[in-house]
């Protein structure tokens, strides 16, 4: 099976299986092929297959059943409730989401960023650093990375009172396919604790997330420190 060499292989496997689910080739309750079969089909290692399967589970597209394998799950579409982003979720719960922009810079893509975004090394990458608030209480520190070719002219100040998802879709016409999340505990630095107004440097939720468009390209990467006792962390699969 041919793949775009500029994109991580596991993303492309996720995108292909997602498309099969969308097209009805794979139906809710269908069992996915075994790892070794998928490895042969996509001509990748089983490590890559496992990463793709883990992401499919995290997205809610599939579910892992002990000793039985992976099965297509029923997908809950939160768009019916208007909850396409954490910003919207806070609004719908009666809270006021705002942001304070700390900085916006443009930097040349490093080798890892080049591979991650599928752009040539040295091409511009936009970095936005912000603090997010709910009812005036800080709950997250975010570093947002955007490929410059897709987001030229972005105004970071719009993020003070608007959803990044809305800006991506309505202003830059990004068709979002799905999001992936990796969560780990992390002790904040003294500066991070000060920005989040923490009384102690207790471990926080460190979230690394990607948003992938309909073409299977990573269009946004975010590194977040999240204070989970201020706002409950939720995420939504979009498609």
**What is the pLDDT at residue 80?**
43
**What is the pLDDT at residue 76?**
46
Euclidean distance between CA atoms 85 and 92, whole angstroms: 11
DSSP E strands: which ranges in 56-120?
62-65, 69-72, 97-108
> By the 8 A CB rule, do 130 and 159 touch?
yes
Average confidence (pLDDT) over 13-29: 82
**What is the pLDDT at residue 180?**
83
User: Higher pLDDT residue, 28 or 157?
Assistant: 157
56-70, 124-138, 188-202: which is most confident: 124-138
Q: Give yes or no for residue 219 having a pLDDT over 70.
A: yes
**What is the pLDDT at residue 7?**
66
User: Higher pLDDT residue, 5 or 10?
Assistant: 10
Express each pLDDT in 116-130 by its tens digit. 999 999 999 999 999
Q: Give yes or no for residue 3 having a pLDDT over 70.
A: no
pLDDT bracket for residue 207 (50, 70, 90): very high
> By the 8 A CB rule, do 176 and 169 touch?
yes
Question: Rounded mean pLDDT of the chain?
Answer: 86
Q: Which pTM value belongs to this model?
A: 0.66
Q: Give yes or no for residue 182 having a pLDDT over 90.
A: no
User: Higher pLDDT residue, 39 or 77?
Assistant: 39
Q: Give yes or no for residue 75 having a pLDDT over 70.
A: no
**What does DSSP assign to residue 189?**
P
**What is the pLDDT at residue 238?**
52
Residue 51, φ and ψ in degrees, nearest 5: -60, -45
Burial of 166 (0-12, 13-18, 19+ CB in 10 A): middle
Q: Which of 62, 71, 69 is nearest to 35 (CA)?
A: 69
Q: Which of 126, 53, 45, 140 is nearest to 90 (CA)?
A: 140
């Amino acid at each position: 099976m041919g793949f775009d060499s500029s994109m991580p292989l596991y993303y492309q496997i996720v995108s292909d299986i997602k498309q099969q689910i969308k097209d009805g080739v794979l139906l809710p309750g269908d069992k996915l092929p075994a790892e070794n079969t998928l490895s042969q089909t996509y001509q990748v290692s089983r490590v890559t297959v496992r990463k793709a399967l883990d992401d499919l589970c995290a997205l809610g597209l599939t579910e892992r059943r002990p000793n039985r394998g992976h099965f297509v799950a029923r997908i809950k579409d939160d768009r019916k409730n208007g909850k396409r982003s954490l910003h919207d979720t806070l609004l719908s719960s009666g809270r006021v989401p705002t942001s304070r922009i700390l900085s916006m810079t443009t930097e040349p893509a490093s080798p890892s960023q080049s591979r991650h975004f599928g752009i040539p090394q040295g091409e511009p990458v936009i970095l936005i650093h912000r603090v997010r608030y709910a009812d005036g209480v800080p709950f997250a520190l975010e570093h947002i990375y955007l490929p410059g070719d897709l987001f030229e002219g972005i105004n970071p100040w719009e993020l003070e009172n608007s959803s990044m998802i809305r800006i991506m879709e309505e202003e830059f016409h990004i068709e979002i396919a799905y999001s992936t999340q990796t969560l780990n505990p992390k002790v904040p630095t003294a500066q991070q604790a000060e920005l989040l107004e923490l009384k102690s440097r207790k471990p926080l939720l460190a979230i690394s997330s990607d948003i992938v468009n309909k073409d299977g390209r990573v269009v946004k990467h975010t590194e977040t420190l999240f204070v989970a006792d201020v706002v409950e962390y939720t995420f939504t699969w979009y498609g």
